[in-house]
Amino acid sequence: MRYATLLLILACGCATTTSTTGAPSGGTAGGADAGTVSSDAGMFGTFDAGGMYGDAGAMGAPDAGMPGTTPSVLTARLEPRSSSNVSGIARVTPGGSGVVVLVEVQNATPGEHGVHIHENGDCSDPAAQNAGPHFNPKSAAHHGGANTPVRHGGDLGNMKVSSSGRGLLAVTVSDLTMDNASGRAVVVHEKADDLQSDPAGNSGNRIACRADVLTRAAVRESAVYSATAYAVVALLVGLAVPSRMVELRIR
């Protein structure tokens, strides 16, 4: 009985925070490698975009539940480009300072991969060239890293991919908003970003790209189901819900 009560409490608690599920709280960058986040893949659930996330059209379209407004969560379902097998999902949610960008991939080569938000929400080209250059709302003169003084607004630094081919990047971007991030594309590159070379840090081909939006109602429903299912498993096998998350704040 006490387990049933605890499960009910957990489920109710998840239901009250679903619009930003997976988003870390505000924080500052730690360590010398300020453009990189260690991988902890699986934290944000399945990549089954056709099942849990659906196909909701172009990123930045008004929230289907509230016409004329920007969605509370922007979701880009990453698809393979440049003959890669990389797929994944990216979420953009409101943060205490700017927005929180979460990018998770699978089937990538181990090591570091540059991640950027690009100007155009068009990934139709096989090499994702239609996505255009990095999003640069402040017209910065040069490409940079997550914490460099000069940087494009779309410069998100590097994602570390483990030997399993899965990686996670979590970063708070102070010069992005839900409005100006709408309509953009999230792109994962084949190589590490050197965080300084123009125009894209010598990060190579664009191996994953997509620009979709998830409606607020769909976010809420899927998050409740996911969180409740995890709570059930945690109770049955005695696992603690994972809490490790590294977050970088772009100054």
Kindly calculate the radius of gyration of the chain based on its CA atoms and give it in whole angstroms.
18
User: Which among 222, 133, 169 has a CA at the least distance from the CA of 37?
Assistant: 169
Cα separations (Å) of 41 from 10, 37, 52, 167, 219? 23, 11, 17, 5, 20
CB–CB of 108/207 below 8 Å?
Answer: yes
User: Which among 24, 22, 25, 27 has a CA at the least distance from the CA of 43?
Assistant: 22
pLDDT interval class at 146 (50, 70, 90): low
The answer as to whether 179 is a domain residue is yes
Better-scored residue on pLDDT, 48 or 208: 208
In this prediction, residue 145 carries a pLDDT of 64
Residue 232, SS3 per DSSP: helix
The answer as to whether 226 is a domain residue is no
pLDDT digits (tens, 9 = 90+) for 55-93: 322 344 333 334 455 558 888 888 889 989 899 999 999
| Token reading at 185 | 């594309």
In this prediction, residue 66 carries a pLDDT of 45
pLDDT digits (tens, 9 = 90+) for 163-221: 999 999 998 888 888 888 888 888 898 888 887 767 765 677 787 787 654 333 333 33
Question: The whole model's pTM is what?
Answer: 0.59
Q: Residues of the chain with pLDDT > 70: what percent?
A: 49
Mean pLDDT, all residues of the chain: 64
In this prediction, residue 183 carries a pLDDT of 83
The answer as to whether 238 is a domain residue is no
The answer as to whether 17 is a domain residue is no
- CA pair distance 213, 71, nearest whole angstrom: 8
Domain count, the chain: 1
How confident is the model over 213-241, as a mean pLDDT? 40
pLDDT interval class at 27 (50, 70, 90): very low
Better-scored residue on pLDDT, 230 or 201: 201
Residue by residue, DSSP assigns 106-169 as ESPPSEEEEEEEES-----STT-GGG-SB--TT--SS---TT-SS--TTEEEEEEE-TTS-EEE
Neighbouring-strand partners of residue 173: 99, 250
pLDDT digits (tens, 9 = 90+) for 106-140: 999 999 998 988 888 888 888 888 888 888 877 77
Q: Residues of the chain with pLDDT > 90: what percent?
A: 13
Range of the domain at 62: 26-215+243-250
In the predicted model, is pLDDT for residue 24 greater than 60?
no
The answer as to whether 236 is a domain residue is no
The answer as to whether 230 is a domain residue is no
The answer as to whether 227 is a domain residue is no
- CA pair distance 95, 179, nearest whole angstrom: 13
In this prediction, residue 110 carries a pLDDT of 96
pLDDT digits (tens, 9 = 90+) for 7-20: 444 444 444 333 33
The answer as to whether 105 is a domain residue is yes
Better-scored residue on pLDDT, 196 or 229: 196
Cα separations (Å) of 55 from 23, 65, 86, 213, 231? 21, 16, 18, 8, 27
Q: What is the CATH number of the domain that holds 54?
A: 2.60.40.200
